[in-house]
Structure 1
């Protein structure tokens, strides 16, 4: 899908093979983290980049897909295991995606003891990531001979073969940083958007293979830049409330159309979308209490009945054209034959049971807290 821009002075073909035969998350996160560090420093880097700095960046990049969206990196992935073991102080700017450069998240991670994961990643990933530059030279090497060879080769051939980087020492036990080749820094600066897109695409393919049934993986592998506005969805439910009194299905409180908050019945952090079929009005306090939990089965019937009420009331009080536009996601995502089927409670209930219940089970298995009840 991605063709990396050519450069006569650099081995772009080898760069494009960095992720060949990759079976865990480490190389993807390592390279993406290098790009993030370069971008943050405006590609003005002359000193070595420490293993510690890169691995803190890796953990920060892994936090949203693993901890927030609960994606799997693979059963044996040590980055995921390490994140699960950390006691991080996760503040509201992080949860609300306002920690735009991950500064707070990186600080929270740096304040923890991560020596074990730094050692684990550093023993393997920095050397093997650039091994494609030296595939021929190391082809028949025993595994324990590969790293020392790459350290020596990358240093001795730094000026002529131009690997992506070399190391700051001659022996592995003394290596704790990489030195990026200046020509590669220039290349990455010039072609940042394309290279980042290529690496992100490779990362997405890896994550989709490990999360084959999870919805919307593409929107979960990086920190979202911001949450979309719910203004259109709010207007839909305000129109319904103008013509019909409604009680919150969780608290039984009578709703005021000017003070509603929209609840994602399936948590946004699971579906990563704002489709109307998954949104119902509630109060701000109830919505805050529910957070990203899965509601108890006791609310399912009330949820479907409320959606049915919304569909019928809106159908009777807005133009046919607008109604059909509003309910497009119901038809496509709930897989009903035609829009009018949504006005049949039995068909609507069957559609929700068929499509929503498996998602609830999947989300529960993925690690989202289940059986939430408002108290």
Structure 2
């Protein structure tokens, strides 16, 4: 296995959580800075697929700017990983002793002027194939633990490790808001003030999905179709838009409760600590206070992570 292929895939796997979710890998880990710098050099989109990233970096491996960044990832770990089998901190000695598969070590390292690769020890072949899923899950579990320590205030770390193949359709949420419009009358976009009609609007994640990584109803709001492209992954100005969000959310809840309409997505409000009936019975001030206590900490943490405010 070519070591350059391995480090390229390391970068490709870290690309999405670093660029899209702004996850920190800690000050002592070089991977974060390398990924950021490679994006600047190559211009690869932040939401590119792993294979596309691998293809671009692989085709440009002879670019000195790219190779110098990738070379950093070839230091230390390839040698230190073998320490349980071969007790030496000398990299040259590690290379030599690994090539005899000393103590049945996992792989050997081959480093020459024009080649740099590892060879998996054949005695491990059956084990690796039979237990691949367990080993993979173990790695992702420990990666999630590693990142959670370094991003203590970030929600849903486990959902931010791998780019999802597709995003949820939000069809159930659309049905909810269509019913609100049908029963409660026309509503207005909190951003543009334009009238929104049934099935003629976009659903906007008030706090960006790239931070919250969920589709809970209390963070989703009908919006003019132009908003998603302009607002993108930016944060709304809470001082201006949160009262508008609260008013529309309260309106939607009261419409459904008064009409005795039930939707499974209404269970999303339980994560705020209240049933929809309890929310409908709240005073305006208490309802506003609940949403302020919910959104202000989330918004501040996102700001601290580098998310920009959209006005």
Asked if Structure 1 and Structure 2 have the same fold, meaning a TM-score greater than 0.5 normalized by the shorter chain, the answer is yes
Which residue pairs with 2:207 in the alignment? 266
Q: Is 1:61 the equivalent of 2:13? A: yes
Shift of 1:341: 3.0
In structure 2, the partner of 1:43 is none
Q: Structure 1 residue 313 and structure 2 residue 251: aligned?
A: no
| 2:268 paired with 1:329 | yes
Structure 1 contact 165–179 (Cα < 8 Å) conserved:
yes
Report the alpha carbon displacement of residue 192 of structure 1 after superposing the two structures with TM. 1.3
Question: Higher relative CO (CA 8 A, sep ≥ 6), structure 1 or 2?
Answer: 1
Q: Secondary structure at the match of 2:104?
A: coil
Q: Contact 1:78 / 1:117 at 8 angstroms: preserved in 2?
A: no
Structural mapping, 1:221-370, within 5 Å: 221-243=161-183, 244-297=185-238, 298-319=240-261, 322-323=262-263, 325-332=264-271, 334-336=272-274, 338-343=275-280, 344=282, 345-370=284-309
Deviation at 1:205, TM superposition (A): 1.0
- Give 1:175 shift: 6.3
Q: Would you say the 8 A contact 2:109–2:117 is kept in 1?
A: yes
Q: SS state of the match for residue 118, structure 2?
A: strand
2:103 alignment partner, one of 148, 157, 161: 161
8 A Cα contact 1:335 1:351, kept in partner:
no
Distance 2:12 2:55 in 1: 9
In the TM superposition, residue 133 of structure 1 has moved relative to its aligned partner by: 1.8
Tell me, yes or no, if the aligned pair for 2:34 and 2:70 is still in contact at 8 Å. no
Query: How many matched pairs?
Result: 301
Name the SS of the counterpart of 2:73 in structure 1. helix
Distance (whole Å) between structure 1 residues aligned to residue 288 and residue 230 of structure 2: 26
Query: Runs of 4+ in structure 1 displaced over 6 angstroms?
Result: none
Give deviations 1:60-92, integer Å, cap 9, x for gaps. Answer: 11111111111110023221112222324445x
Q: Using a 3 Å threshold, how does the CA distance of structure 1 residues 275 and 304 change in structure 2: closer, same or farther?
A: same
The residue aligned with 1:186 is: 126
Q: Is the 8 A contact 1:265 1:294 kept in 2?
A: yes
Q: Name the structure 2 match of 1:5.
A: none
CA distance in 1, matches of 2:127, 2:288: 56
Runs of 5+ consecutive residues of structure 2 not aligned to the other structure: none
Which residue of 2 is the match for residue 104 of structure 1? 52
Q: How does 1:127-142 map to 2 (within 5 A)?
A: 127-134=79-86, 137-138=87-88
Per-residue deviation, residues 142-192 of structure 1 (Å, max 9, x unmatched): xxx432232122112x1x6321111124x7x77621112233333222221
What SS does the corresponding residue of 2:222 show, helix, strand or coil?
strand
TM-score by length of 2: 0.90
Residues in 2 aligned to 1:330 and 1:187: alpha-carbon distance in whole angstroms: 46
How far residue 289 of structure 1 moved from its aligned partner, in angstroms, is 1.6
Larger mean Cα displacement after TM superposition, 264-273 or 80-89: 80-89
CA contact (8 A) 1:268 1:274 kept: yes
1:108 is displaced (CA, Å) by 3.6
Q: Rate the CA distance shift 1:107–1:61 in 2: closer, same or farther, 3 A.
A: same
Q: Is the 8 A contact 2:108 2:121 kept in 1?
A: yes
Q: Choose the corresponding residue for 1:149, options 70, 85, 93.
A: 93
Equivalent residue number for residue 124 of structure 1: 76
Cα pair 1:260 1:283 within 8 Å, conserved: yes
CA distance in 2, matches of 1:120, 1:252: 52
- How does the TM-score come out when normalised to structure 1? 0.75
